[in-house]
Amino acid sequence: MRGTQLTKYFTMFLLLWAMVITSCRKDDEISEETAKKSTTEVSDASVGNFLASKGTLKISIEDSTYTFDAATDSVAFVKVDTAGNQYFGISAINKAHTISFGISSLGVAENKSTTKVEGSQLLFKAGLGENIQYTLNQIAHDEDMGKLKLKQFNDKNVLAKGSFTTFLSKDTIKGSPLYKVTGSFDLKLK
HSE of 45 in the Cβ direction (CA atoms, 13 Å)? Answer: 19
pLDDT digits (tens, 9 = 90+) for 95-154: 999 999 999 998 889 999 999 998 899 998 877 777 889 988 766 556 678 899 999 998
User: How deeply is 57 buried, as exposed, middle or buried, from its count of CB atoms within 10 A (0-12, 13-18, 19+)?
Assistant: buried
pLDDT digits (tens, 9 = 90+) for 26-63: 444 443 444 444 444 444 445 678 899 999 999 999 99
Cβ contact 154:42 at 8 Å: yes
Adjacent-strand bridge partners of 50: 77
pLDDT digits (tens, 9 = 90+) for 7-26: 454 455 445 545 444 444 44
Question: pTM for the complete prediction?
Answer: 0.75
Residue 5 has pLDDT above 60, yes or no: no
